[in-house]
A and B are shown apart, each in its own frame.
Chain A
């Protein structure tokens, strides 16, 4: 009980015990801690609410009750230490659970090692320390690391440093024997551990990041002097929980990177090549595997530039029976074999015979169809020799929009001992093209009604509109029409290869010539524009950008 002159009038035994002996008669300021004195001095109006604060190592809730008579105040003190501790522990646990959930979500979302390291550094800097450094195992003589200061963005660095300069780091990076987290003397840490402008380091802890049986790296946590203080044992245990998640994510990302690097290397030879101008002729190719998740399949094409001036370049397009990786591996063999046979490329029958022999003698029970095209530029034109081995006949797109089928035919390779083929010659005038394609295009099922086959007639009609187009524009057009035809439906591998004789240097009045070509093209499709009740939106959709 405190009187109106702020002197303690009476105190019960519990209060006497709490405030170290005699309280009665002494000024309140000498007895109670500041927080309670302030609440008292705040005056009657502000005194309605309970206040809370520490006394010694416990906490109390103080409830005032003013007596009307003489303005004295009775302060009831309730010990809520355990409740506060329990609440704090609960809050902390909740925060940590939320943090671990968030950390898991972020770490699991990516299979990219750099992004995993970024996420680890950033999460650690936000929740565990003032700054964090994620160090990956040594590569070469360098130490890849990501550092992040609280509130900042992760920064990637490549240190030329010996991990053993940091006590415990070398062991943590080796991963075995298992090492615990380790506090190190900030003075013993080399300069590169501390981010620029960080300030004075109060404490540093090095925690290993255990991976899937392999070390994923180490996490270095830094705190400033006078900040949230040194790491408690509990915090360190928690840091290890986080480290085990981060380590698992990082090693999964590392494994994925290793596997995809292997796949990439093995796949490189199987991917369709990038085509361009060769010896004054335009070549363009397009490929779409049957599965969107794959990049290779059973169709293939290649262009081998001529060895010398005046000689022919060899283009090939084919289709191995089957799809997916198994088929792709066989396309690789066929492409290699053809490459080896280039010196005799002018003799198509011989190339096909030798390829047939190679396929018959291999353990594959598969066969293939293909078209060989030898192309050589002669003045403004391109002279072609075409041989089909059981494959769909090549199509020639003439300048006037006529589409001709080349009459070559033959037997598929890899099935029969003898594979006779008929080689046919053709000449492309400037602006004309030869189109090789696989049956994935013509046998594509779909269309507006969902169940029709794209078919050769539609392909020919589409190509008739392609007269005079550059090779890559024809490839794009055919691919686009076939893709739109199948829509979201299933389809086989689809490949197109176009050989064009480039248009010659601009003519005197190219624009006029162009328009007349256009007029002829539309004449070949009489009255379709005017008789249709709807528009021709199928082509490209909205074009205005």
Chain B
């Protein structure tokens, strides 16, 4: 796409002309309201992939001004683009730097949207905005987008049926979780629906979260995690929040298909996406957590100590497997230090997923990760067969652990029969 200029708006209600928006293939029809979200998704992806922050912010603001509800812009434009960022990286079509850049630009687009909506909301009662007001909103939103951290936005009524002052919700990512954007998007959706939101950001250490809960009268904690290796930490965090009397809603890919690990770890609720989470919170205040509930009741299999042993000897397992690979794979001896380190890091990741699968007692968690890994490898021109010796070596190290042995052999079978 080419340089995008800000359209000249006279009214945001969509019934007056939009001009100067001819840069996009098929700019919005005059007086016809917004495009379907897919159109903006395509435009935003181009901007994000090009690392073009200005264009990205403008596309988001244009969608808003054309009348696409802010919640739809968040969930049907920005969220799908972010999902595509992940998919493109997995397919090796963008590199790490591009992925980080795209994420940062998406984050700024969210900031611009938040600022834009806040300014609109502050004009309650005036449905029609003057061009000057529009321009002010736009400038402020673009300014906000340059800020690395959220501006605090006063909560105000956004929908006729939304009560003026709703409860307070704390949104945080599990410690070690760096994907903050889904939590950020949820925060903005909840703000749009009139909740007071404390957004604590990426990788929040549990002690910080707990002291925040003691200090603020939070009704619900919304906890986000995308990587299944964070599940044991997520469990500790869920339990700690509930111990202070606050129910926990969880979301993110870490919690598995249909949120199966959310139930296993005793979360009070699970939502597949931000809209479902917001609907759940709108429908009913969640029941308070059960008191006197023992978290260990949920995971009786931990009694065999296999998880504890694997987690504790993590580095030793990686070392042993690495040494074993060197013996079996003579090519590895010619690796550069950098390549050896990457290999060790990959092994560490595999052991982490194995530990998580032992924690949840779910073979699919480990098998799923390995199949995904195989896909990633093949996208990068590396034969997935290289995973087999790793599984064999780990199996030898862990031969005294029946659950681990079973997980490894199930994963090996699944790889074989792909």
Contacts and interface: CB of A to CB of B under 8 A. Distances in A.
A binds B: yes
A284 B148 contact: yes
Contacts of B377: 534-535
Interface string B223-253: 0001111000000000000011110000011
A531 B89 CA distance: 19
A503 B51 contact: yes
Given A292-B206, A540-B179, A543-B85, A529 B49 contact: no
Interface residues of B, number: 105
B146 interface: yes
B203 to A, nearest CB: 7
A545 B203 CA distance: 17
A200 B147 CA distance: 57
Interface stretch (B120-128, B129-137, B338-346): B338-346
B308 interface: no
A530 B380 contact: yes
B306 interface: no
Identify whether the interface residues of B are mostly helix, strand, loop, or mixed: helix
Interface string B195-227: 000000011011110010111110000000011
A106 B246 CA distance: 11
Contact of B348 (A448, A503, A533): A448
Contacts of A402: none
A480 B178 contact: yes
B226 A102 contact: no
A506 B52 contact: yes
A441 B186 CA distance: 31
Given A533-B386, A535-B382, A528 B342 contact: yes
A276 B215 CA distance: 27
A542 to B, nearest CB: 5
Interface in B257-292: 285, 291-292
Among B83, B215, B329, chain A packs the most CB atoms within 10 A around the CB of B215
Interface stretch (B7-15, B95-103, B154-162): B95-103
A361 interface: no
A471 B96 CA distance: 15
B103 A545 contact: no
A544 interface: yes
A511 B46 CA distance: 8
A448 B315 contact: yes
Interface of B: 1-4, 46, 49-55, 79, 82-83, 85-87, 89-90, 92, 94-101, 103-105, 107-108, 143, 146-149, 175-176, 178-179, 182, 202-203, 205-208, 211, 213-217, 226-229, 243-246, 252-254, 285, 291-292, 314-316, 318-319, 322, 325, 329, 331-332, 335-336, 338-339, 341-350, 369, 372-373, 376-377, 380-382, 386-387, 390
Interface of A: 102, 105-106, 109-112, 114-115, 119, 153, 253, 256-257, 260, 264, 274-277, 282, 284, 292-293, 295, 447-451, 461, 465-477, 480, 483-484, 487, 503, 505-506, 508, 510-511, 514, 518, 521-522, 525, 528-545
19 contacts: A106-B245, A115-B246, A256-B214, A276-B147, A450-B318, A466-B100, A471-B148, A475-B148, A483-B176, A506-B54, A506-B55, A508-B2, A510-B51, A525-B338, A528-B342, A534-B377, A542-B253, A544-B86, A545-B86
The 4 lowest CB-CB distance pairs between A and B, nearest first, are A543-B86, A450-B315, A534-B346, A292-B205
